Chains A and B, each alone.
Chain A
Amino acid sequence: MRKVTLLVAFLFVSAFLLLAATSMRDFGAPNDAAMDDYFIANAQSEVAANNVVTAVVFDYRGFDTLGEATVLFAAVVGILSLFRKLRKEERWGDER
């Protein structure tokens, strides 16, 4: 029963994905690139960086990068908290 449900869900989602991929526009021909053309044209004058990708990562979309650094920070804190030293009273299996 469980397996059949999973199989149906899997086939359904996969079919949707393939449908989305086949009805996309052609590869290598973006519909609307106004935003990216702006980056390519103005990264040197506005950010003074030769690498447009870095200009996007740290200036135009800098807030994403802050979030990304935060995600890594959260993972480090989470992993350190899993492997931390426990106190004596925190016994295996205590539900408090």
Chain B
Amino acid sequence: MNQQGMSVIVRTVTRFVYGLVLVFGFYVIMHGHLTPGGGFQGGAVVASAFALLLVAFGAAGVKGRLDKHLLQTLEEIGALAFLGLAFAGVGTVFFYNLLANSGSLFGASVALGPNAGVLNTGGLVPLMNWAVGLKVMTGIACIVIVMLVGARKEETE
């Protein structure tokens, strides 16, 4: 693997797969309260798509597309959003799930027992999934980029 990335086969396959991996990651985050998965898992899947880009195109190839400062800012926003959602219930108790069964956004009640699942349930849980998903995808992508670029610098020195 050189600075320019890997062979043309890998790059072509990456162009196809990249979008699919992203969509799958967002699906896992979105359906976290219904199916196996959640913010962390989906975020890791999306971050793996970023890592795939890095491996296939090399650090130079993604320079314009993945900016580490932007990623870091997004990560902080995700963290703040999660903390804010935790603070939302502080009228009762910190971390109180005030949207569950309330009838508003994500506030529908769920039929007890096995069912097909409704997306509009879970109260704060889906929102937290999104906050954590944003945090994890940008955080892991940030780690991968910084470590890859840092390690490169050492090789050329």
Contacts and interface: CB of A to CB of B under 8 A. Distances in A.
A and B touch in their complex, CB below 8 angstroms: yes
Contact of A80 (B115, B135, B146): B146
Nearest to A84: B146
Given A49-B34, A72-B140, A76-B72, 12 more contacts: A44-B111, A47-B122, A49-B33, A49-B122, A58-B129, A59-B95, A59-B125, A66-B86, A72-B135, A76-B139, A79-B143, A82-B150
Contact of A63 (B34, B95, B108, B136): B95
Interface in A27-84: 44-51, 53-55, 57-59, 62-63, 65-66, 68-70, 72-73, 75-76, 79-80, 82-83
B79 A73 contact: yes
Interface residues of A, number: 29
Contact of B100 (A46, A54, A63, A83): A46
**Closest 5 pairs between A and B when the two form their complex, measured CB to CB:** A49-B33, A83-B150, A48-B121, A49-B122, A58-B125
Give the size range of B's interface with the partner: 35 or more
Nearest to A63: B95
Interface in B85-108: 86, 94-95, 97, 100-101, 107-108
